[in-house]
């Protein structure tokens, strides 16, 4: 298994906090399936580096610095998930993979992907070429969409009748 990064922990704390849960050693330990003693160590490290405020008995809260990291990680996660979903991935796998890619992806790549997802989402009904890509994926057959006569398009034609 990939070693968990600061981003992972901060993101998880953020998600739990937004669910209105007090974040304690125990709920992090059970969410990640690790022992509470290691979580205490992690909390200490996150606290030393200024990502969380850590009180042994009242639990942890994200600092501004921690919150900033959490929000940007969450944003990357959502974009990656949307990107994979556009390609036709199942939502569950898209989620799992987004969680891994978000920690290693270059910010330049992320910028492109963000624009790409925005671009595809411009059209609420979905972009025609995305449907054609899915058709290509399933059949191996590359066909152009016929803008003048959609009925002749093997991908969109049947939807017209
Ligand atoms: Zn078409």
Domain boundaries, the chain: 6-67, 124-161
**What's the CA-to-centroid distance between 56 and ligand 1, angstroms?**
60
Range of weakest confidence among 19-28, 48-57, 84-93: 19-28
**What's the CA-to-centroid distance between 146 and ligand 1, angstroms?**
6
**What's the CA-to-centroid distance between 81 and ligand 1, angstroms?**
25
**DSSP state letter for 3:** P
Sign of the torsion formed by the C-alpha atoms of 138, 96, 117 and 104: negative
**What's the CA-to-centroid distance between 59 and ligand 1, angstroms?**
55
**What's the CA-to-centroid distance between 110 and ligand 1, angstroms?**
29
| 161, pLDDT greater than 70 | no
* Beta strands, E only, 6-143: 52-55, 59-62
**What's the CA-to-centroid distance between 143 and ligand 1, angstroms?**
8
CA distance 161 to 151: 8
Q: Where are the alpha helices (DSSP H) in the chain?
A: 6-18, 25-32, 36-48, 64-86, 91-101, 107-120, 128-139, 157-160
Give the pLDDT mean for 45-67: 91
**What's the CA-to-centroid distance between 115 and ligand 1, angstroms?**
23
Give the pLDDT mean for 117-142: 91
Name the CATH code of domain 6-67 (choices 1.10.3720.10, 3.10.129.10, 1.10.10.10, 3.30.1490.190).
1.10.10.10
Q: What is the pLDDT of residue 82?
A: 97
Average pLDDT over the chain reads: 89
With cut-offs at 50, 70 and 90, classify the pLDDT of residue 5.
confident
């Amino acid at each position: 298994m990939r070693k968990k990064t600061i981003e992972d922990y901060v993101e998880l704390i953020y998600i739990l906090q937004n669910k209105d849960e007090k974040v304690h050693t125990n709920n992090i330990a059970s969410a990640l399936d690790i022992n509470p003693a290691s979580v205490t160590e992690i909390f200490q490290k996150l606290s030393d580096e200024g990502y969380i405020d850590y009180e042994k008995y009242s639990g942890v809260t994200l600092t501004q610095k921690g919150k900033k990291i959490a929000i940007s990680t969450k944003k990357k996660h959502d974009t990656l998930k949307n990107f994979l979903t556009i390609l036709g991935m199942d939502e569950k796998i898209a989620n799992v993979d987004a969680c891994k890619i978000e920690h290693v992806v270059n910010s330049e790549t992320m910028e492109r992907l963000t624009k790409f997802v925005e671009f595809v989402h411009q059209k609420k009904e979905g972009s025609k070429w995305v449907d054609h890509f899915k058709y290509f994926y399933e059949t191996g057959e590359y066909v152009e969409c016929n803008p003048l006569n959609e009925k002749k398009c093997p991908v969109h034609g049947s939807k017209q009748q």
